[in-house]
Chains A and B, each alone.
Chain A
Amino acid sequence: MKILTGNDLASGDVIWWAGDGWSRQVSDATDVGTHGDELARAEEAALRVVGAYVIDATRDEDGVRPAHIKDRIRAFGPTVRPDLVEQPTEADIGKWVI
């Protein structure tokens, strides 16, 4: 699947396109198909996102997983600061990144 990500313009937070708006959880990301670039331009023009780009990802029973480690780290947070990550409750979430 193709998903759209970027940073919130004002806060800089990593955000994921969730179909009807942006979410801070990658698990909410939806398949943008072939419309990602068009969506990115529109959302950037609407000042809701900066640096938006389309990435490859997969969906399974554990949720949405970006294909590249860089985007998994964006989704997860710094692997060396578990106290700051987006999903701190799952004990082995760090392995999801690698």
Chain B
Amino acid sequence: MYRYDSYDQAIVDARVEEFRDQTQRRLTGALTEDQFKPLRLMNGLYLQLHAYMLRVAIPYGTLSGKQMRKLGEIAGKYDKGYGHFTTRQNLQYNWIKLADAPDILAELAMVEMHAIQTSGNCIRNISSDQYAGVSADEVADPRPWAELLRQWSSFHPEFTYLPRKFKIAVIASDDDRAAMRLHDIGLKLVERDGVVGAEVYAGGGMGRTPMVAPLIRDFVAEDEIISYLEACLRVYNRYGRRDNKYKARIKILVHEIGVEEYKRQVEEEFAHMRALGLNPPVEELARIRDFFAAPAYESGLSEEIDRSDRAFALWVDRQVAAHKAPGYAIVNISLKPIDGIPGDASAEQMALVADLAETYSFDELRVTHAQNLVLPHVRKADLRAVWQKLVAAGLAEANLDLITDIIACPGLDYCALANARSIPLAQKIASRFAAAERQAEIGELKLKISGCINACGHHHAGHIGILGVDRRGVENFQLLLGGSGAEDASLGQITGPGFSEDGVVDAIEKVTDIYLAERESGERFLDTYRRIGMKPFKEAIYG
């Protein structure tokens, strides 16, 4: 994992003290709310439905046991004993007191964490593949590039006041586990003739105008990625619309001027940037890469897993993924218990997961955009011990990528922007489909719920997506089918008129019934939908 050098630490410490002073001035009236609001947002502090909410950055979703333990301690000490892992691999606290916020940031800084780049019209926290560094199919570990981008983008003076927020994802596998093409810029590391570089996608995103990012360059060598991104950002910063926040994202610019024209302008800018010699020295990427060297895996480990306990075997089959090192496995920890809140973890659960990381996973953890956690390096011989501890902590649900592994934004239960509640609906759906046999029969089905058009719950990218809307003060839910955030990225299509909360659960059951009746061998829900189209599903729902 990356460790702060003296510059990183000094920057973060100084930021804490600056915010402490700003907060004090707000509390004594020297700053008005209009003056203070942009300052607190630059430190991840929002005013939400019930209280202040603090969003903590987890760069590319990687953190240590010590960092996770600190997140749990803060939840217990300053919040109401829990936190919420988000679809951007971050963590949110829901019940923060303004006066405590500087102390919380100081505690985060002690473990090399902060809340910078979690709000505002800047380049946000970089996201990545939760299997980075441990997946056998990747070209290279994408995290050194993500870290390089973090350092490049942090407080970048030219890109601190962009037309709108800007999200970047970096992956390095053909399997896209980070919804890369639904970001403002997506980088996919590839190898061409022995040289590592990146495919660059630009203009993707969800929200009220969802778009899948088109490819704008099929290869940028690794030592020019920064200057190419500078060119992309510079064109956006110059021509992105600042007159209308709903049309200010880069996807609108790329759409309005066209992909070819955007590419042309970026290439023109890139040619100019190249001449300036702005790329960081290759030694810097090498220095960063050293932090992500593989841990000291043991050799000669057994590949055997004792599957005599049926519950354990079911969990292994669903939650454990192949690791590139012999004798090791990737463990996915579900934060989606049937009657729970998607993405929520208690202070005690965070402490337990921190212990597991330190004891069994080379002190490393990942957060996924699907609001789950990952222990990336577990010896197969230790899987049973890990599972037993997860069972005791209520963290052993075996539902990865199944219909109850639901992405849900906080919705109207917590969010000031929301129009409808996402969490109770997620709980009703999970309860309806709770039987393990039924979930297994349906197989992979990614269900995603957003409580408003801003799409934090990624409903456009759900095999089944749900959008909560306000119909004259009453919650109503639109149903979408056919979306995907994976390598086969696509946007879901609305089935028709919306439903009540109970009505949408019934509609989902009709949809899955049609799928089970119509599917051909080996087809996932999404495959069947793409083959037979919307019509049979619509007839079942509305007929």
**A positions within 8 Å CB-CB of B:** 7, 9-14, 44, 47, 50-51, 67-70, 73-74, 77-81, 84
Question: Shortest beta-carbon distance, A16 to chain B, in Å?
Answer: 13
Q: Given known contacts A47-B27, A77-B50, is B473 in contact with A67 (CB within 8 Å)? A: yes
- How far does the alpha carbon of A13 sit from the alpha carbon of B33 in the complex, in Å? 16
Question: Shortest beta-carbon distance, B420 to chain A, in Å?
Answer: 9
Whether A47 contacts B29 by the Cβ 8 Å rule is: yes
Whether B51 contacts A51 by the Cβ 8 Å rule is: no
- How far does the alpha carbon of A8 sit from the alpha carbon of B474 in the complex, in Å? 28
* Residues of chain B within 8 A of A69, CB atoms compared: 412, 473-475
Q: Given known contacts A10-B27, A11-B97, A67-B473, is B413 in contact with A51 (CB within 8 Å)? A: no
* Residues of chain B within 8 A of A78, CB atoms compared: 50, 413-414, 423
Interface of A is mostly: loop
- How far does the alpha carbon of A11 sit from the alpha carbon of B254 in the complex, in Å? 43
Contact residue among A70, A80, A81 (Cβ-Cβ distance under 8 Å from B49): A70
**Interface digits, B90-102 against A, CB 8 Å rule (1 contact, 0 not)?**
0000011111000
In this assembly, does B372 line the interface, its C-beta being within 8 Å of a C-beta of chain A?
A: no
Q: Given known contacts A50-B47, A69-B473, A80-B427, is B52 in contact with A12 (CB within 8 Å)? A: yes
Which residue on B lies nearest to A50, using beta carbons?
Answer: B33
- How far does the alpha carbon of A89 sit from the alpha carbon of B204 in the complex, in Å? 47
Whether B27 contacts A51 by the Cβ 8 Å rule is: no
Whether B412 contacts A73 by the Cβ 8 Å rule is: yes
Whether B97 contacts A74 by the Cβ 8 Å rule is: no
In this assembly, does B80 line the interface, its C-beta being within 8 Å of a C-beta of chain A?
A: yes
* Residues of chain A within 8 A of B47, CB atoms compared: 7, 12, 50-51
Question: Shortest beta-carbon distance, B125 to chain A, in Å?
Answer: 23
- How far does the alpha carbon of A51 sit from the alpha carbon of B47 in the complex, in Å? 9
Nearest 3 CB-CB pairs, A to B?
A: A12-B51, A78-B413, A12-B52
Q: A12-B97, A79-B424 are in contact. List 17 more A-B contacts (CB 8 A).
A: A9-B27, A9-B98, A10-B27, A10-B98, A11-B98, A12-B51, A12-B96, A14-B49, A47-B29, A69-B473, A70-B412, A74-B49, A78-B50, A78-B423, A80-B427, A81-B341, A81-B413
- How far does the alpha carbon of A14 sit from the alpha carbon of B28 in the complex, in Å? 20
Question: Shortest beta-carbon distance, B413 to chain A, in Å?
Answer: 4
- How far does the alpha carbon of A70 sit from the alpha carbon of B421 in the complex, in Å? 10
* Residues of chain B within 8 A of A14, CB atoms compared: 49-51
Whether A73 contacts B423 by the Cβ 8 Å rule is: no
- How far does the alpha carbon of A74 sit from the alpha carbon of B521 in the complex, in Å? 49
* Residues of chain A within 8 A of B33, CB atoms compared: 44, 50-51
Q: Given known contacts A47-B29, A79-B421, A80-B423, is B51 in contact with A11 (CB within 8 Å)? A: yes
Which residue on A lies nearest to B50, using beta carbons?
Answer: A14
Which residue on A lies nearest to B416, using beta carbons?
Answer: A70
Question: Shortest beta-carbon distance, A11 to chain B, in Å?
Answer: 5
Q: Given known contacts A9-B98, A12-B47, A14-B50, is B413 in contact with A80 (CB within 8 Å)? A: yes
- How far does the alpha carbon of A10 sit from the alpha carbon of B95 in the complex, in Å? 12
**Interface digits, B464-497 against A, CB 8 Å rule (1 contact, 0 not)?**
0000000001110000000000000000000000
- How far does the alpha carbon of A65 sit from the alpha carbon of B298 in the complex, in Å? 63
- How far does the alpha carbon of A46 sit from the alpha carbon of B62 in the complex, in Å? 43
* Residues of chain B within 8 A of A50, CB atoms compared: 33, 47
**Interface digits, B50-66 against A, CB 8 Å rule (1 contact, 0 not)?**
11100000000000000
- How far does the alpha carbon of A15 sit from the alpha carbon of B421 in the complex, in Å? 22
Which residue on A lies nearest to B427, using beta carbons?
Answer: A80
- How far does the alpha carbon of A50 sit from the alpha carbon of B98 in the complex, in Å? 11
* Residues of chain A within 8 A of B97, CB atoms compared: 10-12
- How far does the alpha carbon of A68 sit from the alpha carbon of B96 in the complex, in Å? 25
* Interface residues in B18-62 (C-beta closer than 8 Å to A): 26-29, 33, 47, 49-52
Q: Given known contacts A10-B27, A11-B98, A80-B423, is B412 in contact with A68 (CB within 8 Å)? A: no
Which residue on A lies nearest to B423, using beta carbons?
Answer: A80
* Residues of chain A within 8 A of B473, CB atoms compared: 67-69
* 7 A/B residue pairs, CB under 8 Å, sorted by A: A7-B51, A9-B27, A10-B27, A70-B418, A73-B412, A73-B413, A77-B50
Contact residue among A10, A47, A67, A74 (Cβ-Cβ distance under 8 Å from B50): A74
Whether A80 contacts B27 by the Cβ 8 Å rule is: no
* Residues of chain A within 8 A of B51, CB atoms compared: 7, 11-14
- How far does the alpha carbon of A84 sit from the alpha carbon of B49 in the complex, in Å? 14
Question: Shortest beta-carbon distance, B87 to chain A, in Å?
Answer: 18
- How far does the alpha carbon of A67 sit from the alpha carbon of B95 in the complex, in Å? 25
* Residues of chain B within 8 A of A67, CB atoms compared: 473
- How far does the alpha carbon of A78 sit from the alpha carbon of B413 in the complex, in Å? 5
* Residues of chain B within 8 A of A73, CB atoms compared: 49, 412-413, 421
Q: Given known contacts A51-B47, A79-B421, is B99 in contact with A10 (CB within 8 Å)? A: yes
Question: Shortest beta-carbon distance, B186 to chain A, in Å?
Answer: 33
* Interface residues in B96-116 (C-beta closer than 8 Å to A): 96-99
